[in-house]
Amino acid sequence: MRLLSPFAIILLLGLLNIEFLKAQKLVDSLATKRTRALFLNLEMAANEGKILFGHQDDLAYGVGWRDVPGGSDVRFSCGDFPAVYGWELGNLEHDSVANLDHVNFKKMKTWIREGYRRGGVITLSWHLDNYHTGGSAWDTTAAVRDILPGGAHHERYKADLDRFALFVNDLEGGNWPRKHKIPIIFRPFHEQTGAWFWWGKTHAAPADFKNLWRFTVAYLRDVKGLHQILYSFSTSYNYDTAEEMLEFYPGDEWVDVLGIDFYAYDTLPQTWERFRSCHKILVETAEARGKIPALTEFGFETIPQHDWWTNVFLKNLLLDPSLSRMAYACAWRNANPKHCYVPYSAHQSLPDFQEFYRNPATLFEADLWDFYKKPKPKPVRNPKPVEQEKTSSSTLK
């Protein structure tokens, strides 16, 4: 049998890699192998109807505690960490020590590395302050044109992207010689279909928003050389058609994850009808365009219904097969008893959350296969016992 020469092997591997990238259609053709693997594994989870559960700021604080080693309201509730960790970069543009929710940036990097080391998925959002007025992200004075090329604050925006690049490049996993950049899902300018941020639909023209998105991606990818990022375009839930949802969409070549942020403010049937309608549009559109569908933020503040997790939230996700093909769902943060989105010690929905955890449709951190290796057929998942942490949030005050 004739063996291939080393040159032929290298050429063949290169061609296979090119075809692999073409099949994925990622924003970044130079994406690291772990970033490409993350995309494929998220896609596989979604196709199998397995939803990764996430939580914002999970390791930093919870109800009744802050900055406690091993702290996590999710773990205190069910014995396992979330599969997805959401983090916020607001105030990074000011070189602040902490973000707008008082999470120290240096400690945030440690928690990101910790979650990644255990196999978790990392997402970053950024509530940038208004460049026109200096107000917060919720100051809805128009500002998008100010930071486009030629705009009054374009150079300042580039400097902020430089800060982002420094932050992300400092997130590394492994040890030499296998040290590598941690793959990140970046979710800039989210909920643009709403009117509450300065980049929202009533304050920015669709063409300007698209140009801002494209500039941001191109600058981070091509100028700063960040190849560890999947880009998430996340809408709000105020649309009735795919065309409305995609009004600000910059194009398939600029997006990897197609997400939606959904918050419930009641348990009325029409609320969940809209939930199902918007999600069905999102999932089917994402699949048709080769994108990862995700519930990039969600929650019901204080979770006032004891069986909300299984009898409302999960029930509605599983009513239609397309709705369950959502790669992950990231709950918002637990700041205090009046502003919390996952249960904590003695919360009325805690037993139901444990049932939600045990459901085979949900994936928490211990359920994850290696999301940073090219996927292979997944083994059958065994039922999970609940091992509620003996240390409750009340003992950590």
| Residues labelled as active-site residues | 191, 297
Cβ(201)–Cβ(193) under 8 Å?
yes
> Of 393, 378, 347, 362, which is closest to residue 82 (Cα–Cα)?
362
Residues 6+ apart with CB under 8 A from 175: none
Range 193-223 burial, b when 16+ CB lie within 10 A, else e:
bbeebbbbbebbeeebbbbbbebbbebbbee
Q: Give the other-Cβ count within 10 Å of 329's Cβ.
A: 25
- Rg of the Cα atoms in the chain: 21
Instruction: For residue 178, count CB atoms less than 10 angstroms from its CB and return exposed for 0-12, middle for 13-18, buried for 19 or more.
Output: exposed
**Cβ-contact 234, 180 below 8 angstroms:** no
CB 71 within 8 A of CB 61: yes
Tokens of 239: 């649309």
Q: How far apart are CA 197 and CA 132, in angstroms?
A: 13
State how far the Cα of 351 lies from the Cα of 14, in Å rounded to an integer: 51
* Residues contacting 138, CB < 8 A, separation 6+: 196, 197, 198
Q: Could you give the CA distance from residue 169 to residue 160 in angstroms, rounded to a whole number?
A: 14
